[in-house]
A and B are shown apart, each in its own frame.
Chain A
Amino acid sequence: MDKKRILIIDDEEGFCNLVKKNIEKSGEFEVQIATSGEDGIKLAREIKPDLILLDLIMPGMDGADVATQLKSEKDIKDTPIVFLTAIVREEEDSPQTSLTRGYSLLAKTVTVGELIACIKKNIKKCA
């Protein structure tokens, strides 16, 4: 079975590296990293990921701007996005706001198990 491609867009490089290691360890995913919104969009166009883990608060182009851009692009507009953020309690479905409509919000302090479960749930939802 092909590995699912996950793209992490987060300005915290250390966090990205550890998440990559943890997710890849399961053997089910292949992870690419972008540490800015602009790089993330370019990489998304290139690799067409199965899911994007997107930090909400970043310098320059923030998570909401990146999501808006991705939604406007034909090839990647249906890619599920999980927002990783420091400002939610735990995993929660985002309220019906214009920025994060329909996507999951995930606290950055989740355990590896919770993170993988959330990724699988969202890929399945969009399959």
Chain B
Amino acid sequence: MAIIILIIIFTLIGLVIGYSISARRQQNKLVPQKLQQQDPTPPQNHTYLEDKIWYEAELNFLFKFNEKLFSAFSFQAVAQCIAEAAHNFLPIERTVLLTWDKNSEKLTLVCSIGLEHDCNQESLVLGKDSISGFVIHSREALVVSDLAQEPYFKKLKKEEYLQKAFISAPLIFKNEVLGVLHVCDKKTAEPFTKREVSVVMNIARMGAITMQNAWLHEQTAKRAVELKMAYDELKEMQDKLIQSEKLKAIGQLASGVAHEMRNPIGIIMQGVGYLEQIIPPEAKEPRETLSIIKESAQRADRIVISLLDFSKATKLELHPENISSILESSLIMVKTELKNIEVIREIQENLPKVLVDKNKLTQVFINLFMNAVHAMPEGGKIAIRSFVKQLEEVNNSIDERPGDSFAAGEKVVVVEVEDSGTGISEENLKKIFDPFFTTKGPGKGTGLGLSISRNIIIMHKGLIEVKSQAGKGTRIIITLRISKEEGE
């Protein structure tokens, strides 16, 4: 009898061990099988061994989920990873992940699987009357077996993906609700088990940490870009400011230098005048030498005059003027220089009048025309354009005082002088408004023309810009205010 009992006991032990090994084999395949979307439903009547198998499977799954999560760098990739994990591990129809922005009080659908239509990135306005809103505010997971049987939820706004059975788990990190994960409608008729709820909760917990990290990472990257942009902008402003201060300092220095220079030049000129009177006309060599001295003194004087123009804080005599007639009269003054040059006029008819100092602006235009002529020693084309433009955005000059800047949407008169000449290299373009910067040969330019032009345009509260490409030509763009008398 005892032997029979022993045999029965050993047989039972053998059966249990055999089942255990078989179950373990199954369990080892469990996670990959689940991930391949096979039915993962664990046995309902749990034994210790079944529990152990399930926990091992869950642990294994969560380990792999964790690995996947940490390899996802973007916020969207993390959201996708969370939704996919829940969808693949559980036998469900749909998974929806929404993020919550407490400042705007908006829920945004960031990822969904199994929805009939793609509504990712669709922004939903949260109300306490929605089930997601309920989860967000209660901060607790919600497990529903049959939505139709829950009288409380009848009052809530129906979210289309929450139809019958679902688990809604809030994503919480450091007491902050980041979103909500909905796992909806089991493929089998059974309700969600505690184990399934536990898995969803773990996915939500781990997912929340990584989501927060991904969000922080993205915010840091965004900040870095913003900082870089702010730095670049600041650098540009600083360069402009240094340039502006440099020009002001040169202006102040210029008037002092001009005065000191002109006294000795005056003496040279008087000395030359004296010698001219006493050296007889037949003494050719002394007279030629004198002529060279005189020309050089006059050249030095022209430079000083340019310096004075540059530094003079002359008051403008502003009157409403017709820009096309100023352009025409300036052209007449350089007519003799335009021998091999074709002048193309593209001047809009009936341009509104501009509030300018006619003489100063003529000085600017003559300067621009002469620069164009010098840039085309073999001849070429000068296009002179003028038109009305409505400003879209404004790049303010650093010299402007508050209230001087143009407003976006303001109508202005634009003058363009474009030549087909040698152009300006990118390197030289940066120095083009610097006093004494010239690419013309010795004695041909003082390097003050564009600096003076710039000062005059700034005095008019206008803008002057240069666009140029070496070998292709240069375009100067001047923006001027329309006279208020035009009834703008």
Contacts and interface: CB of A to CB of B under 8 A. Distances in A.
Among B274, B277, B308, chain A packs the most CB atoms within 10 A around the CB of: B274
Interface string A54-79: 00010000000000000000000000
B270 A86 contact: no
B114 interface: no
A17 to B, nearest CB: 9
Contacts of A112: 270, 273-274, 276-277
Given A108-B263, A109-B265, A109-B297, A15 B258 contact: no
A87 B255 contact: yes
A21 interface: yes
A110 interface: yes
B112 to A, nearest CB: 79
Of the four ranges (under 10, 10 to 19, 20 to 34, 35 or more), the interface on chain A belongs to: 20 to 34
Given A57-B259, A89-B308, A22 B274 contact: yes
Contact of B266 (A21, A86, A113): A86
Contacts of B394: none
A113 B255 CA distance: 27
A109 B300 CA distance: 10
B274 A18 contact: yes
Interface string A97-111: 000000000011111
A124 B468 CA distance: 55
Contact residue range for chain B?
Answer: 20 to 34
B274 A109 contact: no
Contacts of A22: 270, 273-274, 277
Contacts of A89: 305, 308
A25 B308 contact: no
B191 interface: no
Contacts of B273: 18, 22, 111-113
A52 to B, nearest CB: 17
Interface in A1-41: 12, 14-15, 18-19, 21-22, 25
Instruction: Indicate the member of B255, B270, B301, B305 with the most A CB atoms within 10 Å.
Output: B270
